[in-house]
Amino acid sequence: MDAKMKEYLYLVGILVLFGACEKEYTPDPPETLQFVVEGIIEFGDPTENPAPPYVLLSKSAPFLNTFDEAFFNNLFVHEAIVTISSPNQNITLQEYCLNDLPQAIRDQAALSLGFDADSLSIDICAYVDLNRELLLEEGQTYQLNIEVEGETITGSTTIPPLVPIDSFRLERVNGAPDYKKMLCNISDPGNQSNFYRYLVAEEDGPFVSGFTSVVDDLFFNGLDIEFQLNKPLPPEEDFDPDLFGLFSKGTNYTIKWATMDESHFQFWYTLEYNKANEGPFSSYTRIASNINGGLGVFGAYHFKKDSIFIR
């Protein structure tokens, strides 16, 4: 028996062993569903169109379910009392659903939430400070309070100082003449811990985040550093390892670079770590939440946008 045949029989034996040990497992449905919150405050130059403060309120879903349009529409929780407060204000957010908005506002709202309005089949509903009554300022802490179905849900976030990207530099890539690598420089302050996130929009499309859109300054606190900023892979594009992270020539991109507080960072960091380590042999990662009485995040971004045309 040659080595190739021995290897084949060994693999067959492993498969038989796993098949013999396999036992069907059906998880019990949860006794109660939990409220899920995504509350976002954006602070930046008004000319860069920060999204108004908003809160998406939904419920968790059983593991076994039929995930269709009706299912997702029914996840949204309505008729809640949602307020965001600071020491000098207490603002009640109003509920809006995309299908109830005029087309122009609907398109802008969808882009602010990171969606393409023309491709949406789900009627997303959110609680929004559409009139921008909430006064936003650097260093201020904001409290979220939600009263719904006899429950109280709370959260807290602070707008940190902005640490912007100082400069951008483009490099040619061997073997990919139609693409370029983007390098960025930041001057990280050494008197505080800093937490960063970035998103990228291509032309007039929505902002998209990558597999690893967040980073802290644990290894470069107080340093001036240059790093490669990778272009996120849009959901509709196939993965090409030779072009991963590269920016297409002849295309305009908008980089949205933001700082955030630690609890906001931990939510995205654990979420992305969990997504990057999915599979039958990966370890489970509990996604961090700063929501009391539910799951999710209430977080503030201090952001700046830079538009770059790739030549």
Q: Is residue 27 part of a domain?
A: no
Please tell me the predicted confidence (pLDDT) of residue 28.
Answer: 55
Please give the residue range of the domain that contains residue 113: 35-158
Q: Is residue 281 part of a domain?
A: no
Please tell me the predicted confidence (pLDDT) of residue 233.
Answer: 86
- Calculate the alpha carbon distances from 248 to 167, 168, 309 in Å: 19, 16, 9
Residue 230 gets which letter from DSSP? P
| Helix, strand, coil in percent for the chain, rounding step 5 | 20, 35, 45
Within this chain, do residues 176 and 89 fall inside the same structural domain, yes or no?
no
For every one of its 311 residues, what pLDDT tens digit does the chain have, with 9 covering 90 and above?
Answer: 554 444 544 444 544 444 555 455 455 555 578 999 999 999 999 999 999 999 999 998 765 555 555 666 678 999 999 999 999 999 999 999 888 777 776 776 666 665 666 655 677 899 999 999 999 999 999 999 999 999 999 999 999 999 999 999 999 999 999 999 999 999 999 989 999 999 999 998 889 998 899 999 999 999 999 999 999 987 777 888 899 999 999 999 999 999 999 999 999 999 998 876 655 555 667 899 999 999 999 999 999 999 999 99
Task: Among 99, 129, 158, give the residue marking a domain's end.
Answer: 158
CATH of the domain at 206: 2.60.40
| Domain count of the fold of the chain | 2
Task: Among 158, 184, 212, give the residue marking a domain's end.
Answer: 158
Q: Which residue has tokens 């929501």? A: 291
- Calculate the alpha carbon distances from 96 to 60, 117, 126, 276 in Å: 21, 15, 6, 33
Q: Is residue 53 part of a domain?
A: yes
Please tell me the predicted confidence (pLDDT) of residue 295.
Answer: 96
Contacts of 71 (CB under 8 A, 6+ apart): 61, 65
- Calculate the alpha carbon distances from 106 to 130, 157, 165, 305 in Å: 12, 27, 31, 22
Please tell me the predicted confidence (pLDDT) of residue 133.
Answer: 97
At residue 275, the 3 state secondary structure works out as helix
Within this chain, do residues 147 and 44 fall inside the same structural domain, yes or no?
yes
Please tell me the predicted confidence (pLDDT) of residue 10.
Answer: 46
Task: Among 127, 158, 189, give the residue marking a domain's end.
Answer: 158
Q: Is residue 173 part of a domain?
A: yes
Within this chain, do residues 223 and 264 fall inside the same structural domain, yes or no?
yes
Please tell me the predicted confidence (pLDDT) of residue 12.
Answer: 45
Q: How do strand 89-97 and strand 125-128 relate by DSSP bridges?
A: antiparallel
Within this chain, do residues 60 and 147 fall inside the same structural domain, yes or no?
yes
Long-range residue pairs from 204-207, CB within 8 A, at least 24 positions apart, any chain = 205/116, 205/234, 206/110, 206/111, 206/114, 206/115, 206/116, 207/111, 207/114, 207/254, 207/256
Helix (H) or strand (E) holding 54: strand 54-59
